[in-house]
Structure 1
């Protein structure tokens, strides 16, 4: 049975984790303070992406030795507001894991960003990011999507995107 650990700040990662747990007939547990589950069953670590912050990748790096990477199936599902193709191509999790990336399956899921619920600090950070992107020449599709959704509540959560993670977990388990 797969182990699902998650860190969610605004709810979309928790929504995915709970739906994934239901599909895999298991439970989803909070990542914060989590120990490495015993056994050899697959582990799926899910978290949000906020700029350079990705709790799932940090947790795996911190527990790499205990996870027995390369022997035990481990996956990360990063939930963010980048366009899915852009996120996969950029592979932020892979970069964060460095040499460990070859031993971790990586998935990218579209999230939710409700500007109306952002903390003051997070709102200011987003204003700075969008201002910089607006000044950038040669904007990508991802840049344009960020600009067009700025200061709006946007929900791109799509639980159908969990299909590849379910398939991976069933093959790995």
Structure 2
């Protein structure tokens, strides 16, 4: 049995990249969320680290954590997204998505990648709509301005060095 369980969901690849690098650092294999339940059941003490993108209100990792019984083990949820760090940490949308489990789950935010050149038509249309709504706002936040300024460009903010904090949490 492994000492850690690293589970992930990924839409465009940045979350998978984080999960695979984290798993390598911890000496385990990254598991897709569909494989994670069996590993959690097989090893009742291994700390679990779930990595997941957030797309608007959709947070597959938070949903997985909310519906899984982890017993007394350590659990972390790592949200990967494009929101500016200070906004993501202040808003702490993962805590809201976790509901009653929020206090027992360590939360981390990791900056992701948004390559417009790879987006599905539906996702691109959604982003176009959001950006146009933001342009119409009279008072724009720094996050709003970032979304407007990076629209229709490939942006890679993945920073594997940010995994150091998660490794330290897992190993303590």
| TM-score of the superposed pair, with normalisation by structure 1 | 0.93
**Gap runs ≥5 in structure 2:** none
Q: Once the 2 structures are TM-superposed, how far is the Cα of residue 33 of structure 1 from its aligned partner?
A: 5.2
What is the correspondence of 1:16-165 to structure 2 with a 5 Å cutoff? 16-32=18-34, 34-35=36-37, 37=40, 38-63=43-68, 66-68=69-71, 71-165=72-166
4+ aligned runs moved over 6 Å, structure 1: none
The alignment covers a number of residue pairs equal to: 167
Aligned Cα root-mean-square deviation (Å): 1.0
2:14 match: 12
Question: Which residue number corresponds to residue 2 of structure 1?
Answer: 4
Deviations 1:117-154 (A, max 9, x none): 10000010001111111111221111111111100010
Scaled by the length of structure 2, the TM-score of the pair is 0.94
Once residues 33 and 26 of structure 1 are traced to their aligned partners in structure 2, the CA distance between those partners, rounded to angstroms, is: 14
> What do residues 70-124 of structure 1 show as CA deviations (whole Å, max 9, x unaligned)?
x210000000000111111110100111121000000000000000110000010
Bigger shift: residues 132-141 or 45-54: 132-141
- 5+ residue gaps, structure 1, are none
